[in-house]
């Protein structure tokens, strides 16, 4: 179940996950996490090919949905562990963004009020293969090159733009 929200992020109800993503999409609470190593490289994940929407595309370190009533920070920490098999050494709030993206392959819609988090990871990830096909640590120049040739999630630019002010405070020695 997902927490439905209004445009200000106030809870308005709950819905089953798949139903909330069916067109036209219902606005619901979500989170996105950006993790960086001590060298200032961003952790990217390529979503597993078995995912029911946006399979096989690159995206930020972790994203998901809090359970109804679960704090977004707690959900983000929980899902980083579940998806990547690692605990963030540091995790901090980085604002919110709202977006709506259609997955052309599945027809499902991501209409999300998304809580953003940025943090540090110091341990080697051990991703769950049902969630993550592969991961990479990339510097800003490598991310720009990858975005020219690889497929990224529809929401990646929205969440990256929203998180950049906090990223620049966290990672001061890289050109983010």
CATH number of the structural domain spanning residue 61: 3.90.79.10
User: What confidence tens digit (pLDDT) does each residue in 120-141 have?
Assistant: 999 999 999 999 999 999 999 9
Within-domain flag for 176: no
Residue 78 lies in a domain: yes
**Domains contained in the chain, number:** 1
Domain limits for position 45: 2-170
Determine contact, residues 23/108, Cβ cutoff 8 Å.
Answer: yes
Residue percentage of the chain with pLDDT more than 70: 100
Measured between alpha carbons, how far apart are the two ends of the chain, in Å?
A: 35
Cα dist. 35→28, 52, 55, 90, 159 in Å? 23, 24, 21, 9, 13
Distance of alpha carbon 133 from alpha carbon 55, whole angstroms: 9
**Which of the following is catalytic: 3, 83, 110, 112?**
112
User: Does residue 70 carry a catalytic annotation?
Assistant: no
- Please tell me the predicted confidence (pLDDT) of residue 52: 84
pLDDT of residue 6: 98
Mean predicted lDDT score pLDDT of the chain:
95
Residue 31 confidence (pLDDT)? 98
pLDDT of 46 reads 97
Strands 28-36 and 109-120: parallel
Catalytic residue among 3, 62, 63, 131: 63
Active-site annotation holds for 112 = yes
Q: Tell me: pLDDT of 26 over 90.
A: yes
Helices (H), 49-120: 72-84
Taking the C-alpha atoms of residue 110 and residue 112, their distance in angstroms, rounded to an integer, is 6
The reply to whether 74 falls in a domain is yes
**Any domain includes 175:** no
CA diameter of the chain: 43
Q: Residue 87 domain-assigned?
A: yes
Residues 28, 12 contacting (CB under 8 angstroms):
no
- Is the distance from CB of 29 to CB of 111 less than 8 angstroms? no
Q: How far apart are CA 150 and CA 70, in angstroms?
A: 34
Task: Tell me the three state secondary structure of residue 147.
Answer: helix
Residue 174 has pLDDT above 90, yes or no: no
Cis peptide before 24 (omega within 30 of 0): yes
For the chain, what's the residue count? 176
Kindly report, residue by residue over 59-112, the tens digit of the pLDDT.
999 999 999 999 999 999 999 999 999 999 999 999 999 999 998 888 999 999
Token couple for 102: 């259609």
Q: Is residue 93 part of a domain?
A: yes
């Amino acid at each position: 179940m997902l927490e439905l929200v209004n445009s200000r992020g106030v809870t308005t109800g709950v819905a089953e996950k798949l139903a909330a993503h069916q067109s036209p999409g219902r606005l619901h609470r979500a989170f996105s996490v950006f993790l960086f190593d001590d060298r200032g490289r961003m952790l990217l994940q390529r979503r597993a090919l078995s995912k029911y929407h946006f399979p096989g595309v690159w995206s930020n370190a972790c994203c998901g949905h809090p359970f109804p009533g679960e704090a977004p920070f707690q959900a983000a920490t929980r899902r980083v562990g579940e998806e990547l098999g690692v605990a963030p050494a540091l995790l901090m709030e980085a604002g919110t963004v709202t977006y709506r993206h259609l997955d052309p392959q599945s027809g499902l819609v991501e209409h999300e009020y998304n809580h953003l988090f940025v943090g540090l990871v110091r341990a080697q990830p051990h991703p769950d293969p049902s969630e993550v096909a592969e991961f990479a640590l990339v510097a800003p120049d490598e991310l720009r090159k990858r975005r020219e040739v690889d497929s990224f999630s529809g929401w990646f630019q929205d969440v990256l733009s929203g998180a950049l002010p906090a990223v620049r405070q966290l990672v001061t020695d890289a050109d983010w």
